[in-house]
């Protein structure tokens, strides 16, 4: 059983690496790497990570289907301060691990021990994002917490 779980982990990790679109491995925080293990299209919705020079793609509901995860927020702010909220004014629920945009920047994780650091084998695939907590933390529009349009 452990061999199967290890092979599943390696497969998901490899697939997540392929979907990063030239984003260096070291640019992603540990939580975002864990998210991408499923959001590479294997278990969750496909999330495409883009570099800062690639255009944003939106779905038919105007939600971003790619985001510059791993990018330093301050760099984006400095390039276009009129378009971004200053770091000191960001919603306190926005997490910038090492100053970088990551999955936790927009999605509040569930209060539980992560499966990948647990000594217990992972038997189910469960998203780490808490939809209700995220909606509560970012009421009245998530994107506008960072982006000033």
Cα–Cα distances (Å) from 86 to 70, 76, 119, 133, 148, in that order, read 18, 10, 40, 24, 10
Rounded Cα distance, 28 and 19, in Å: 13
Q: pLDDT > 70: what percent of the chain?
A: 71
Comparing 46-50, 73-77, 83-87, 142-146, which segment has the lowest mean pLDDT? Answer: 46-50
Are the C-beta atoms of residues 148 and 89 closer than 8 Å to each other? no
Q: Write out the DSSP string of 12-72.
A: HHHHHHHTTSS--GGGS-HHHHHHHTTTTTTSS---EE--TTSPP-B-TTS-BSEE-TT-B
**What is the gyration radius of the CA atoms in the chain, in angstroms?**
16
The residues spanned by each domain of the chain are 2-145
Number of residues written out for the chain? 149
**Across residues 120-147, what is the average pLDDT?**
77
**Across residues 95-124, what is the average pLDDT?**
69
Q: Give the pairing type, strands 66-67 and 48-49.
A: parallel
Separation of first and last alpha carbons in the chain = 50
Q: Which of 54-58, 83-87, 121-125 has the highest mean pLDDT?
A: 83-87
Binning pLDDT at 50, 70 and 90, where does residue 96 land? very high
Binning pLDDT at 50, 70 and 90, where does residue 128 land? confident
pLDDT tens, 53-83? 777 888 887 777 788 888 899 998 999 999 9
State residue 105's pLDDT score.
92
Helix, strand or coil for residue 117? helix
Backbone angles phi, psi at 100, to 5 degrees: -105, 150
Are the C-beta atoms of residues 52 and 75 closer than 8 Å to each other? yes
State residue 83's pLDDT score.
92
Q: Which residues partner with 72 through β-bridges?
A: 100
| Model confidence, pTM | 0.69
């Amino acid at each position: 059983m452990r061999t199967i779980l290890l092979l599943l982990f390696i497969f998901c990790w490899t697939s997540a690496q392929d979907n990063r679109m030239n984003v260096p491995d070291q640019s992603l925080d540990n939580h975002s790497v864990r998210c991408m293990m499923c959001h590479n299209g294997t278990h969750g919705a496909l999330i495409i990570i883009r570099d800062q020079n690639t255009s944003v793609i939106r779905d038919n509901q105007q939600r971003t289907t790619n985001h510059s995860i791993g990018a330093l927020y301050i760099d984006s702010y400095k390039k276009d301060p009129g378009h971004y909220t200053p770091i000191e004014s960001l919603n306190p629920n926005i997490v910038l691990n090492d100053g970088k945009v990551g999955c936790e920047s927009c999605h509040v994780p569930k209060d539980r021990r992560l499966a990948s650091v647990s000594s217990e084998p992972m038997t189910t695939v469960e998203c780490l994002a808490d939809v209700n907590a995220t909606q509560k933390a970012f009421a009245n529009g998530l994107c506008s917490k960072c982006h000033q349009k």
